[in-house]
Structure 1
Amino acid sequence: MAKTRLKRKNDPPQVAILVDTSTGWGQRLIRGVTSYARQHGPWHLWVEPKGRDEAMQLPPDWNGDGVIARVGSARLATDLQSLNTSVVNVCGIKMPESDAFPRVTTDYATVAALATEYFRSRGFRRFAYVGPTRHSYVRRHVDAFRGALAQFDAELSVFNFAHESLASKRWKTQEQKLGQWLKEIAKPVAVFSWGTTASARLLKVCRLHNVLVPDEVSVLAGDDDDLICEATVPSMSAVLISSEQIGFRAAARLDRLMKGMNDDGSDVLIDPIEVVTRGSTDALAIEDFELARAVRYMRERAFGELTVAEVADHVPMTRRNLERKFREMIGRTPLQEIHRLRIARVKELLSTSDLAMPAVAAASGFGTPEYMTQMFKSIVGQTPLRYRSMTRAR
């Protein structure tokens, strides 16, 4: 057990962050912790560069006040339980050993609902999942996606993807099985995956077996790592997880624990931000030619001065028929779809850029910041400024 550190009254807290530094998720999470520490500290932070699959552990002589950790193994959970210190868990993995720690993590149900809505808005009616389903936390991810699809009576095909080395014989065998599965599955199909690794390898197998992406198989990763996502061919669409906010909220919770305040131990679940659309999902699976043409026109021009009448004239069809087809096949009106596209763009800009509100309004098609704020608040339930402060932890 670690020794209790002799601490002077005004010493800053010593806090260790045990998350990987090699992924966008981990880097953004650490940024959220450092943002909280700047505002409410100072804190003395300890971070060691680590890959996602490397063992996380504290130095043998570490004797600090608190730990923010991705508790993804029973060994790490046991090690942390032996410390005389406060711990907050930021991992979605649930295991008996980690239940003793308060948790701040991603809301899988909201991620699944977002992915479902995204695919359905592109006309997909067939769905699949690729990921290492031998892990309980991945099965929870799958179950959340299946649950979100259930309300539309949509079935889900699942392929158990194991994280094997690309050089291993087991990966070659798995690659062949994945290729055969891709050939046999009905198309077009929307594939949601556990993360960027599974998605990147899925895209590779699609290329090897001449499966067209995104026309036959549309691929969406469950987490956005912009470096990896931009490096694949085609570039990979992904759900942008609010890991910076997870880090900020975890730091705030740890601060309360270190000050001896009560904590009810319940999970704090953070919603994802939005889907970042790249080449792997840049397709429509809408069989109705007129509706597909209208939706594509909308996506190409939603961030300008677009009107429903303009969309109807382009197809061409009467506005009444356009409204009817949208309600029957997309589940909302054309105007609601334009607003959905614009709000998604606002969310992305607020969470990933420092653009001022007038620039965000102009870039998203709302024109004025006042109108953007009005629409954003009515749809999202909070102001753009509040949303930015929540997702960027500033």
Structure 2
Amino acid sequence: MFDPRSILLVIDRTKSNGRELLKGISSYGRVVKNLRFKIIDAEIATELKEHAFIKYVSQEAKGVSGIIMVESVYIDSLPDFGVPTILASASRGFAKGDYLIQVNNQMVAREAVKHLVSYGHSYFGYVGLQDFDWCNARFEHFKQIVENQCKGLRSFFYEPPGKYTMKEPFRAGMEKWLDSIPKPIGIFACSDFCGKHVIEACKRLDIKVPDEVSVLGVDNDDLICNFTTPTLSSINLKTRDCGFEAAKLLVKLMDGEKCPPATLHVEPGRISVRQSTDFIAVRDQSVAKALRFIRDNVMLPIQTEDVCDEVCCSRQFLYNKFKRHLKCSVHDYIRRCRIRKICELLIETNMTISEIAYKMHFPDPDHVSRYFKKQKGISPTQYRRDLRTERTG
């Protein structure tokens, strides 16, 4: 029986981008009355043979008035269901249709380069999956952006793992590649999952992350990023916003409105900076030692004299080194790191300002609030409110 307000969603809920897309669709569902959703996990396509998956989706599609389908390996084999449909890129190729969802890979690559450059990198690497169009597109944009401002771009592509592990030949290949590339280097991984594999390979080779190899992922899947050691920096994607707009467009089509063909772009958001990139690439050993000391003691109220004692040099000597390599004083760099740490705690945890003050050895909450506002122009409370509003749409 046909239901004029029923929408079938074929989306993988095991991945962060799928969950974020669903949250955006759900948000629109709260705005519009009487929408009903049926969900099929696209992940089941990896468990079923092609004909079985097509039969299953076809059965579930009976009676619906619209479909949003994302990343099924069999997306190109499914029949035309005769209702408005919005498609996102299939697992290996790009989806084809009048109404599409695509990540803006050019802007994602631009944000990756900007981030790695800001940490002093002039050597760049890219790690991606073989035979995936979206991954190749991300690489081509990354390559185009960096080729005029770096000393060389190295890349490594591997076959997607089975369930959760890399195949041995590719694991050995990645290790050989990581051992051969110049360091320090900033590596852009096509996804958080790839970034995790890079960090694990570095640990097996005793390559220091982020001191020798910085790693940046995409998707900001906190279940991957926060359970990788060291934790993985990642580019957020505004998938939730796109989910809202996709549902809005689909309802217009379901209501018979004539809409021109459209591609909804998933834009990059802010970068969640974690341990895997939180180190400035510098070859000067005195500066590198000072940076490691500051990074490892960022929770403490260290002073310039503490850093000089660690490096065994005079204040003026280290000041000149920092000015030459980092364009700032030791004191300024310590303050910058402390502020960045406060930002991280405000965004990634539910700690109160009092708890942050205690953890970072400030005398009291008012002190940390004044310290933060002097640098950022707003209070810690307002900063947290603004960022969380942005994340929840």
TM-score normalised according to structure 2 size: 0.73
Deviations 1:253-279 (A, max 9, x none): 112211222322232223211211222
Deviations 1:211-244 (A, max 9, x none): 2222211111122110121222222221111121
* 1:310-321 superposed matches below 5 A: none
Q: Does 1:46 align with 2:38?
A: yes
Tell me which amino acid in the other structure corresponds to 1:88.
I
Deviations 1:196-225 (A, max 9, x none): 222222222222222222221111112211
Tell me which amino acid in the other structure corresponds to 1:367.
K
Tell me which amino acid in the other structure corresponds to 1:67.
I
Cα distance between partner residues in 2 of 1:321 and 1:126: 21
Asked if structure 2 preserves the Cα contact closer than 8 Å seen for 1:245 and 1:392, the reply is: no
* 1:308-387 superposed matches below 5 A: 345=343, 349=347, 367=373, 371-372=377-378
Percent of aligned positions that are identical:
20
**Which of residues 200, 223, 226 in structure 2 aligns to 1:230?**
226
Cα distance between partner residues in 2 of 1:253 and 1:276: 30
SS at match of 1:278: coil
Cα distance between partner residues in 1 of 2:8 and 2:289: 53
Tell me which amino acid in the other structure corresponds to 1:65.
S
**Which of residues 114, 117, 121 in structure 2 aligns to 1:120?**
117
**Which of residues 127, 130, 134 in structure 2 aligns to 1:133?**
130
**Which of residues 172, 175, 181 in structure 1 aligns to 2:168?**
172
**How far 1:325 sits from its partner (Å)?**
6.0
CA distance 1:295–1:274, change in 2 (3 Å): farther
Tell me which amino acid in the other structure corresponds to 1:87.
T
CA distance 1:213–1:323, change in 2 (3 Å): closer
Using the TM superposition, name which of 47-56 and 207-216 deviates more. Answer: 47-56
**How far 1:77 sits from its partner (Å)?**
3.4
Q: Does 1:21 align with 2:21?
A: no
CA distance 1:293–1:252, change in 2 (3 Å): farther
Cα distance between partner residues in 2 of 1:143 and 1:76: 24
Cα distance between partner residues in 2 of 1:224 and 1:121: 19
Tell me which amino acid in the other structure corresponds to 1:84.
G
CA distance 1:38–1:274, change in 2 (3 Å): same
Deviations 1:274-314 (A, max 9, x none): 211222222220235787799889989999xxxxxx99xx9
Deviations 1:116-150 (A, max 9, x none): 11111111111101111322221101011112213
Q: Does 1:90 align with 2:88?
A: yes
Cα distance between partner residues in 1 of 2:258 and 2:154: 44
Tell me which amino acid in the other structure corresponds to 1:32.
G
SS at match of 1:281: coil
Cα distance between partner residues in 2 of 1:163 and 1:228: 16
Q: Which residue in 2 is equivalent to 1:359?
A: none
Q: Does 1:36 align with 2:28?
A: yes
Q: Which residue in 2 is equivalent to 1:77?
A: 76
Using the TM superposition, name which of 284-293 and 207-216 deviates more. Answer: 284-293
**How far 1:391 sits from its partner (Å)?**
4.9
Q: Does 1:196 align with 2:218?
A: no
Q: Which residue in 2 is equivalent to 1:379?
A: none
Asked if structure 2 preserves the Cα contact closer than 8 Å seen for 1:163 and 1:198, the reply is: no
CA distance 1:106–1:300, change in 2 (3 Å): farther
Q: Does 1:159 align with 2:156?
A: yes
**Which of residues 182, 185, 194 in structure 2 aligns to 1:186?**
182
Cα distance between partner residues in 2 of 1:353 and 1:149: 34
Cα distance between partner residues in 1 of 2:9 and 2:296: 42
CA distance 1:283–1:167, change in 2 (3 Å): closer
Tell me which amino acid in the other structure corresponds to 1:64.
V
CA distance 1:385–1:199, change in 2 (3 Å): closer
Tell me which amino acid in the other structure corresponds to 1:190.
G
**How far 1:21 sits from its partner (Å)?**
0.6
Deviations 1:90-121 (A, max 9, x none): 3377857x322312332111111111111111
Cα distance between partner residues in 2 of 1:386 and 1:181: 42
CA distance 1:197–1:300, change in 2 (3 Å): closer
* 1:254-269 superposed matches below 5 A: 254-269=250-265
Q: Which has the higher contact order (CA 8 A, sep 6+)?
A: 1
Q: Which residue in 1 is equivalent to 2:361?
A: none
CA distance 1:338–1:53, change in 2 (3 Å): farther
TM-score normalised according to structure 1 size: 0.73
CA distance 1:88–1:338, change in 2 (3 Å): farther
**How far 1:167 sits from its partner (Å)?**
8.8
Q: Which runs of 5+ in 2 are unaligned?
A: 309-314, 353-367
Asked if structure 1 preserves the Cα contact closer than 8 Å seen for 2:217 and 2:233, the reply is: yes
Q: Which residue in 2 is equivalent to 1:282?
A: 278
SS at match of 1:269: strand
Asked if structure 1 preserves the Cα contact closer than 8 Å seen for 2:184 and 2:281, the reply is: yes
CA distance 1:299–1:207, change in 2 (3 Å): closer
Cα distance between partner residues in 2 of 1:364 and 1:185: 44
Cα distance between partner residues in 1 of 2:351 and 2:34: 28
